[in-house]
Amino acid sequence: MGEPGRRSVARLLPKLIADHAIDVVVGNGENVAGGFGITPDLVDDLFDLGVSVITTGNHAWDKKEILDVFPREPRLLRPANYPAGVPGRGSYVFTTPGGESLGILHLMGRAFMPTIDCPFQVAKREVERLKTQVSAIVVDMHAEATSEKMAMGHYLDGLVTVVAGTHTHVQTADEQILPKGTAYITDIGMTGPLHSVIGIKKELAIEKFLTGMPRRFEVASGPTVFCALLVDLDATLGKAVSVERIRVMD
């Protein structure tokens, strides 16, 4: 979330990668540019910091200069259930330095969100396609409604390796391995300002709630929180072995 979140990633991610021997880092980057969208330079910065694949969401298009990047950078994903003709792609197959392959699928919910194609129907189609290339698949389910994310987790249980929710900026405490072997969390949470309203200056958010008037939001400052989900998986079987929620005050 904005510059504070980027600083937190720069300080903490390389150490986490080293400490846990992490092979693949999937990071949601839709809020890195001042809280709204992502720019070409920030895409490069996240890759340089160790992020392997960047997902986005409903703020994918907030910076017009990013539109040309989506078609030419396969590691930058927009939700797969946007209609045909939208720039970019919704999935990617990442190969680790050790030669193991992992599919990344990005979906977006429709409850309280922009009306796009059905994420469940698209998930079924995309998972079937990815399964011809890989056994292990990680899904970023970018959605507002807890129920929609939970439903997707159970819908894909046993078919994919991870279903991780994003979008609400508040980490949930329900990390688990579902009955058929899929790691799940309703929301990974935000990396950004701790003393804020989902990353925004709390005074501005409170004013908007009090008055109901339009207000230009700004990213908060101060101490940050780094949120992530660490999953150990069997790339051959496509199953999760363990799952751990990470929340570090920075």
**83-117, pLDDT tens digit by residue?**
999 999 999 999 998 899 999 999 999 999 999 99
For the chain, the domains span 2-249
H helices of 97-216, in order, are 119-130, 146-155, 202-211
Separation of alpha carbons 169 and 231, rounded Å: 19
Secondary structure element (H or E) that encloses residue 46, with its range: helix 40-48
Q: What is the CATH number of domain 2-249?
A: 3.60.21.10
- Say which DSSP state 77 is in: B
The answer to whether 158 and 240 have CB atoms below 8 angstroms apart is: no
Q: Which pLDDT score is estimated for 232? A: 97
> Which of the residues are catalytic?
59
The answer to whether 106 and 90 have CB atoms below 8 angstroms apart is: yes
Residue with tokens 């496509």: 238
pLDDT band at 64 (very low <50, low <70, confident <90, very high): very high
The answer to whether 130 and 106 have CB atoms below 8 angstroms apart is: no
Can you read off the two tokens belonging to residue 139? 């899904």
Q: Which pLDDT score is estimated for 17? A: 97
Tell whether the model's pLDDT for residue 38 goes beyond 90: yes
Separation of alpha carbons 151 and 21, rounded Å: 31
